[in-house]
Amino acid sequence: MDQSRDTSTTAPSLRHLQIIEVVANAARPLTATEINTSLGLPKPTIHRLVAHLESEGYLSRYLDGRSYLPGPRLREMMLGVLRSGEHHLPRREVLMRLHESIGETCNLSIPDGDAMIYVDRVETQWPLRIALKVGSRVPLHATAAGKAALAQMEAAEFARYLGKARLTSHTPQTVTDPETLRREIEAIRERGHATDCEEFIPGMIAIAVPVFDPGKRFCATISFHAPLQRTTLEMGLTYLPALRHAADSLSDLVI
């Protein structure tokens, strides 16, 4: 965003949109003061506008109680834009090529507060498949996509997550102990990919890698999932080069 933007004559109806733009473009939660860095509004005004956007569901309070992320209404708008962009052939082509090389369902997911949300996918043609539709929200701690996203958090942000997150058990394999999860996320940072072996859905494995935007900021994950009857985790790991190539290709696109 243009840091020199003059908001002194901006119509009040546009100030909400400017705040939404700042939050949507940020790579992390922002306080009202940080949101206002490029807007230069009076302090009471920015706090009033942010509070109004929160009350209407366009912003959500983050775990620290001070900063803000896109709220449910804004996330739904963002998802709608992505859905309407199904004609975005380059992004779709990347997923289709990945699907052709793996033969299983391939997914593009973005962080959505305390979860990941599927924004695009190419389904496997096998009759035996696991249905997680576009728009599905899945937990951070129990999925490959979610753990890949957790591994991109700054240390302080991840510590806050561990301190407040409910590590709900979805299967007997779900990691619900904070210290165990912390060690796993450290390992994911080292190796650059995340796995899920029946941690979210019984009989399902998944592997995910992060996607970075052209500015090298984390923005999404690309992954595939498959039933264990057809693909073991060890077999799935042989597709890591294809996943990483797809992630690199997506990095050059506006997803």
Which domains does the chain possess?
Answer: 12-71 (1.10.10.10), 88-251 (3.30.450.40)
pLDDT of residue 145: 95
pLDDT of residue 123 exceeding 60, the answer is: yes
Beta strand residue intervals within the chain, DSSP E: 30-31, 59-61, 67-70, 105-112, 115-122, 137-139, 194-197, 204-212, 218-227
> For strand 67-70 and strand 115-122, is the pairing parallel, antiparallel, or unpaired?
unpaired
pLDDT of residue 240: 96
Would you say 139 and 200 are in contact if contact means Cβ atoms under 8 Å apart?
yes
| 137-195 per-position pLDDT tens digit | 889 999 999 999 999 998 888 998 898 888 999 999 999 999 999 999 999 999 999 99
| 41-70 per-position pLDDT tens digit | 899 999 999 998 888 888 888 767 788 878
**Nearest C-alpha neighbor of 235 from the set 200, 193, 207, 198:** 207
pLDDT band for position 254 (cuts 50, 70, 90): low
Mean pLDDT computed over every residue of the chain: 84
Would you say 130 and 105 are in contact if contact means Cβ atoms under 8 Å apart?
yes
| 196-208 per-position pLDDT tens digit | 999 999 999 999 9
